[in-house]
């Protein structure tokens, strides 16, 4: 089982590594990091700007890449019929879905590492060491990206890339602003409150992975000052893992029922 999943994961990694758009995204993020040196000097907040730009770029472009890979890689297997020569072999369909996800996760991990290295390099140029807070923020961004990839794969298992992309993007945005939506709904009519509550229940709490600048249990947290504990990072990771497992299980179930004509 592990061997088959790994075979699909490695092949997916190889496939994704050939997508030129990914190299464009890396160049864009590295460029933004370099630009943050100039912006930081203009604002006389070199370190703050560099970290904010680096972490935002990691989170934003990481999530967008996850959506892009998630909605295309599974769909193109079916569309181009490459899947015919694969699922006719003794591999279970859920193993194929998990393998595809792991391959994507591998690509996204490499991207997050590259984005992190770019930020570290800029910090090093500025003479600022990488703090534990920054490492925690990078790990949280990584969890977020992996969760978004599972969301995209889930939609891709039954929908076209365009629709999957829209759904996944919508879930990412809503998941990011859950506390704000909840706060806004407090003063709304009862049925809007109910609708909001139901909507937020079926959306992963992605805001848990982007906490810098927010309040947690009444305390303000910031990557530039007092940040979350490793315990929080671990719990957020478990939250993401739960969603990833659930979404992959649903994807596998939907994929299992499909005819490949």
Partner 1 sequence: MADLAIDVRDLTKTYRTPFARRKVEALRGVTFQVEKGHIFGFVGPNGAGKTTTIRTLMGLIRPTGGSATILGKQLPSRAARFQVGFLPEAPYFYDYLTVAELCDLAGRLFGIPAAVRKKRADELIERVGLSRARGQALKKYSKGMLQRAGLAQALMNDPELVVLDEPMSGLDPIGRKEVRDLILSLRDQGKTVFFSTHILSDVEAITDRVAIIVKGELREHGTPGELVSRTVLGTDVMIRIAEAADVTALTDAGDRVRRKGDALSLTLPANADIDAWIAKAHAAGGKIVQVTPRHETLEDLFLRKVEDAKASPSPGGDT
Using CB under 8 A, list all residues that contact partner 1.
3-4, 6-7, 11, 14-15, 18, 80-82, 84-92, 257, 259-261
User: Which residue, 44 or 80, has its beta carbon nearer to partner 1?
Assistant: 80
Give least dist CB 258 to partner 1, A. 9
CA 37 to chain centroid: 26
Sequence-separated contacts (24+) of 85-91 with Cβ below 8 Å = 86/8, 87/260, 90/4, 91/4, 91/8
Could you give the CA distance from residue 129 to residue 38 in angstroms, rounded to a whole number? 19
Phi and psi, residue 42, nearest 5°: -65, -35
* Residue position matching structure tokens 């039954």: 158
Rounded CA-CA distance 139/211 in Å is 12
| Closest CB 79 distance from partner 1, rounded Å | 10
Shortest Cβ 83–partner 1 spacing (Å): 8
Nearer residue to partner 1 within complex by CB, 4 or 193? 4
In the bound state with partner 1, the residue whose beta carbon lies nearer, of 89 and 186, is 89
Smallest separation, CB 208 to partner 1 (Å): 37
**Comparison of 87 and 135: residue with beta carbon closer to partner 1:** 87
CA distance 247 to 105: 14
Q: How far is the CB of 80 from partner 1 (least distance, A)?
A: 5
DSSP tag of 206: G
Nearer to partner 1, 22 or 150 (CB): 22
């Amino acid at each position: 089982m592990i061997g088959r999943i790994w075979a699909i994961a490695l092949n997916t990694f190889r496939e994704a590594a050939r997508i030129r758009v990914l190299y464009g995204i890396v160049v864009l993020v590295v460029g933004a990091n370099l630009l943050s040196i100039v912006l930081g000097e203009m604002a006389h907040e070199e370190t703050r700007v560099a970290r904010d730009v680096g972490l935002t770029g990691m989170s934003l472009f990481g999530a967008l890449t996850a959506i892009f890979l998630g909605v295309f890689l599974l769909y193109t297997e079916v569309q181009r019929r490459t899947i015919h020569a694969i699922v006719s072999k003794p591999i279970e369909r859920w193993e194929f879905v998990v393998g595809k996800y792991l391959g994507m996760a591998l690509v996204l991990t490499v991207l997050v590492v590259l984005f992190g290295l770019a930020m570290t390099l800029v910090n090093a140029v500025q003479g600022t060491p990488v703090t534990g807070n920054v490492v925690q923020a990078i790990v949280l961004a990584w969890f977020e990206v992996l969760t978004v990839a599972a969301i995209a794969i889930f939609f891709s298992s039954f929908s076209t890339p365009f629709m999957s992309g829209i759904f996944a993007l919508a879930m990412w945005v809503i998941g990011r602003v859950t506390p704000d939506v909840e706060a806004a709904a407090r003063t709304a009519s009862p049925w809007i409150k109910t609708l909001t509550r139901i909507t937020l229940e079926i959306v992963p709490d992605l805001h848990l992975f982007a906490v810098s600048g927010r309040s947690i249990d009444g305390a303000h947290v910031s990557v530039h000052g007092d940040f979350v504990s490793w315990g929080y990072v671990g719990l957020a990771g478990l939250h993401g893992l739960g969603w990833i497992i659930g979404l992959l299980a649903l994807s596998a179930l939907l994929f299992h029922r499909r005819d490949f004509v």
